[in-house]
Structure 1
Amino acid sequence: MHSNQNKFYQIVPETQTTDIISGLVKAITPLLSKTQERPTDDFEELFTVDETLKFLKCSKQALWNWRKNGILPSYRLGNRVYYKKSDIFAKLIKQE
């Protein structure tokens, strides 16, 4: 007679953890790739006056003159002045 052998498998918590993590990675990877494909124009970076001065390596007076004469557009939020990074690059490209 054949005896039925029952096989019991022991599930080790480390194995479960590895399976769960690999499943999460498979599920999250497509979502992350979609967010990385998003154009960066959605998030416009703003520079403060000090950051703009360091970036352009110019004097505060020159930056103020460019803002006053409309050469480099600025944006006010309360009593603070900001410059868009894209505006700075656009102006630099026009100058060439």
Structure 2
Amino acid sequence: MKSTQLHVYQTTPEELTDNILIGVDSKLQEFFDKYSPPQKDDEELLTVEETIKILKCSKQALWNWRKNDILPSYRLGNRVYYKKSDIYLKLIKQE
């Protein structure tokens, strides 16, 4: 992380507040750019194995989350799928 020196004795409280807010705003923007969920156009369905790789969890944990309505799943025939956007939203919100 790159830091910048700021001479407080030459800065008014308003300028100091503005500088802090600019720094926080830029860090938040970087975070949201990096971890934003995919757009609605990109509703990619993932298999159980692909979902396990993304979440780095066990098959049993994923099954428990599905049964407890923590992570929504979709069935097509006898196969279970998860939306990539649902996974990212759940990771960001941590509901």
CA distance in 2: counterparts of 1:57 and 1:42, whole angstroms: 25
Q: Please name the residue that 1:73 is paired with.
A: 72
Highest RCO, 1 vs 2 (Cα 8 Å, sep ≥ 6): 2
SS in 1 for 2:70: coil
Amino acid at match of 2:67: K
Q: Which has the larger radius of gyration?
A: 1
SS of residue in 2 equivalent to 1:81 = strand
Q: State TM-score, norm by structure 2.
A: 0.57
Unaligned runs of 5+ in 1: 1-38
Query: 1:45 aligned to 2:40?
Result: no
Looking at structure 2, the residues matched to 91 and 43 of structure 1 have their Cα atoms a distance apart, in angstroms, of 16
Moved segments of 4+, more than 3 Å: none
Q: List gaps (5 residues or longer) in structure 2.
A: 1-37
Q: Distance between the aligned counterparts of 1:82 and 1:95, measured in 2?
A: 20
Query: What fraction of aligned residue pairs are identical, expressed as a percent?
Result: 83
TM-score, normalization: structure 1? 0.56
Residues 41-73 of structure 1, C-alpha deviations (whole Å, 9 max, x = no match): 223101000000011100000000000000000
The alignment yields a C-alpha RMSD, in angstroms, of 1.8
AA in 2 matched with 1:48: T
Tell me how far 1:40 sits from its aligned partner: 4.2
